């Protein structure tokens, strides 16, 4: 893995990927689809406090399909929501 993305305010680092992610006890993907999970960290590289939220994440595939993050996962620990002070980092799993 080791993929990195930045917008000049935060850096997002992908530590690992589970693809496909085994469906949970209560949730399964729609027929013909699959869940995947990314273990990510988000670092605030700015000089101001920034907010983050797993529900505001998205994944774009190489063929330009876009998927939003889901709270329906059993992959732990999940990325939560909160505020990051300058140079602070949060880490957790995001499911798509």
Helix, strand or coil, per DSSP, at residue 10: strand
Domains annotated on the chain, with CATH: 4-95 (2.60.40)
The residues that bridge with 18 in the sheet, in sequence order, are: 37
Per this entry, what is the length of the chain? 96
- DSSP for 38-66, written as a single string: EEEEEEE-SSS-EEEEGGG-EEE-TTS-E
CA 1 – CA 23 distance, rounded (Å)? 22
Write down the pLDDT at residue 23: 83
Tens-digit pLDDT profile for residues 13-56: 999 999 999 888 888 888 998 999 999 999 999 999 999 999 88
Q: What average pLDDT does this structure show over 54-71?
A: 90
Does residue 73 carry a pLDDT above 80?
no
Does residue 66 carry a pLDDT above 90?
yes
User: Residues of 32-43 as b/e, b for ≥16 C-beta within 10 angstroms?
Assistant: eeebbbbbbebb
DSSP code for 92: E
């Amino acid at each position: 893995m080791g993929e990195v993305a930045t917008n000049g305010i935060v850096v997002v680092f992908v530590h690992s990927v589970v693809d496909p992610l085994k469906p949970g006890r209560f949730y399964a993907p729609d027929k013909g689809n699959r869940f995947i999970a990314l273990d990510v960290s988000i670092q605030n590289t700015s000089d101001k406090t920034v907010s983050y939220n797993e529900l505001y994440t998205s994944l774009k595939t190489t063929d330009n399909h876009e998927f939003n993050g889901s709270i329906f996962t059993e992959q732990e620990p999940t990325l939560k929501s909160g505020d990051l002070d300058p140079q602070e980092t949060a880490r957790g799993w995001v499911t798509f």
